[in-house]
Structure 1
Amino acid sequence: MTYIDGFVIACPTANRDAFIAHARMGDAVFIELGALRVVECWGDDVPDGHTTDFRRAVKAESDESVLFSWIEWPDKATRDAAMARMTEMMTDPAKADPRMDPAKNPMPFDGKRLIFGGFVPVVDMTA
């Protein structure tokens, strides 16, 4: 069964084009490492909640938009191998990939407020 990595991000609204360029470059690496699909979504209808909400979860400021993204993997083993390879790309100069270099592909958002996690699908329905 597939495995999903999910992300919620606060990104300055003015950085929308920079985010899209950053995502296209980095997401290509995920696909090359075995991801089936990567989806990056820019918040359009993200309401304030009574107890909690997406904006509060990432401490979004008034000039920021909330993004919701996911990566679909064929299985957890493929995802784990890809994440290990990506770590090598960022830490081992001999295996470096410029798409993963923060100097060449800087994050246009505050990575400290990025929320992420891995998920096992329990219901998967299509039309």
Structure 2
Amino acid sequence: MEKYVDGFLIPIAKDKVNKYREIAQKSSQIWKDLGALEYYECIGDDLDIEELVSFKKVVNASEEETVIFSWIVYESKEQRDKVNEAVMNDPRMKEMMETSEYDLFDYRRMSYGGFKTLVSL
């Protein structure tokens, strides 16, 4: 069975990146502990390519913001659903979500999607 991937584009203020990294480290461990195969959080570096739609434009990022490109790999869509449910019920995640520090970006501007594998090497 082909793997399943959740993908995210997240606009974040440049001055909040270090705090986001701390939370991403904690979150990644929770996802991995509960069954995710791989977990990536990447920060924008080369985002202004002429004649292409920039990730910054997709999330309406300002000059004070950059973009986080993230993806999580699972065994299958069904396993993804189980892992995500477990993550949302995990006390470590609930604790992080209850703090004001967790509110680092505008969730309404985040892009998200679940993806079936098309090509895998």
Which ranges of structure 1 fall in alignment gaps of 5 or more residues? 90-95
What's 2:30 paired with?
A: 29
Q: TM-score, normalised by structure 1?
A: 0.83
Structure 2 residue runs of 5 or longer lacking an equivalent are none
Aligned 8 A contact 2:30 2:92 in 1: no
What amino acid does structure 2 have at the position aligned with 1:12?
Answer: A
**2:81 is aligned with what amino acid?**
D
TM-score, scaled relative to structure 2: 0.87
Runs of 4+ in 1 over 6 A off after TM superposition: none
1:108 aligns with 2:90: no
> Could you say which residue in structure 2 is the equivalent of 1:61?
62
Report percent identity of matched pairs. Answer: 29
Cα separation, 1, equivalents of 2:80 and 2:70: 16
How many angstroms apart in 1 are the aligned matches of 2:83 and 2:104?
Answer: 23
Q: Deviations over 1:19-65 (max 9, x none)?
A: 10010111211111110110100000001554632111111011001
CA RMSD of aligned residues (A): 1.7
